Amino acid sequence: MNLAERDHNVIWHPYTQMKTAALPIPIVRGEGALLFSEDGQTYIDAVASWWVNLHGHAHPYIAEKVTEQLQTLEHVIFAGFTHTAAVTFAERLLQILPQNQRRIFYSDNGSTAVEVAMKMAIQYWNNIGTPKRKIVAFRDSYHGDTFGAMSVSARSAFTAPFWSYLFEVAFIDVPTAGNEQETLKQLEAFAQEGDVAAFIYEPLVLGTAGMVMYTPEVLNQLLEICQKNNILTIADEVMTGFGRTGRTFATDYLQQKPDMVCLSKGLTGGTMALGVTSCSEKIYEAFLHEDKSKTLFHGHSYTANPVACAAGLASMDLLLQPETQESIQRIGQRHADFAQSIKDLPQVLEVRQQGTILAVEFEDGGTSYFSELRDTLYSFGIDNGVILRPLGNIIYVIPPYCITNEQLEQIYQTILGMQEIVTGRRHHPRPDLDMLHD
């Protein structure tokens, strides 16, 4: 029995209808932007393994630092105790986060980072004696799969069984081109009600909505409304953080800074599970009191895990190297050039690009996991040695920063093949995979 069959007997995979899904592809090794399967096939990881991998698979420097930490301290309870890796990582994160961020609260993934931020926001108002209940979010947003994170995410088929359990949220439209003024009016109207505790948003790029993009200028205006009306702001940088948008954080494009920032995914370079919620001193001070009931009662068994913090420190070392910063700009430029070349092709509805994030939206189909086109395009990518995970009719690319120009070209050629499928020319050439080893 091979690994895929063994998996099928015991594993329940995420976002997968196990009755109809094909057997999973067994991956036995990773190196750089490549993954190697049990049967000898090679795949370019064009989606950075769900957007987490920054520097390539099995990076020797991160492995070295993780190994060193394992030989010293694997874990310790983080209530009443601390350790060097957590303190050093927090210090270094605060050096690169917006200057108003002063405290780091550790958790273990993106959803929990969001949960922490929302609990901070709601309890903040209770602690200072002016309770507020309402949260504002973008209508098509995604912030995670725990119940609080689902509540501030789009109501969709993914959350339908749980709608009656989710708390009420004030949704506003995404301020895409031509819709900016309407979105500003919607937020202003909710703000005037005086009961808004916080506004949570994915800055500049909404990931699972289909890599929907909007400008820093309109986000600045939205944040100005919040500041004027005493509404806390939460930047969900779980996907956009650590260089994805071309700058270290999407927030770096803005004049207005959030009260809280949520981080995960690239936080450890894709090596270990870890989440962070940072906050301003104003937020932190609202929890300092002789009354212990004003404590933030939140924690996880693996809070500030030393091994994960060591991986995060190593990833940050790599991120801040000039070569990595140059690669981020290189990838962004290559994406921009490809976007320009494909935007007028038949059935290409729109091409969106922000930094290392590229999205190609086809006219055929809809942005849904249930789309038949989605399955066709996914299979075409796999057949051509490229891992792309379409969002219905939208193909997106978020590669590791170590990806070569030749590998990017392989991805682009695969997307062009997908465009041919959508326009009805079902010509499926398999590119020369020798370039994958360059």
Q: Which one from 15, 165, 282, 432 is the annotated catalytic residue?
A: 15
CA atoms in the 13 A half-sphere facing the CB of 145: 7
Residue the block writes with tokens 């891992």:
387
- 317 among known catalytic residues: no
- Which of 236, 253, 257, 412 is catalytic? The answer is 236
> Which tokens in the block code for residue 221?
């205006």
**Rounded alpha-carbon distances, angstroms, from residue 60 to 26, 128, 218, 404:** 22, 48, 41, 18
Give one DSSP letter per residue of 211-267, joined into a string.
SEE--HHHHHHHHHHHHHTT-EEEEE-TTTTTTTTSSSSGGGG-SS--SEEEE-GGG
* Long-range Cβ pairs for the range 401-405 (8 Å, 24+): 401/54, 401/55, 401/56, 401/243, 401/324, 401/327, 401/328, 401/331, 401/356, 402/32, 402/33, 402/55, 402/56, 402/327, 403/32, 403/33, 403/44, 403/327, 403/331, 404/33, 404/438, 405/330, 405/334
- Please pick, among 106, 142, 201, 396, the residue that the annotation labels catalytic: 142
Among 45, 259, 265, 401, which one carries the catalytic annotation?
Answer: 265
Question: Which residue is associated with the tokens 């940088």?
Answer: 237
Q: Among this protein's residues, is 265 annotated catalytic?
A: yes
Q: How far is CA 361 from the centre of its chain?
A: 19
The residues annotated as belonging to the active site are: 15, 142, 236, 265
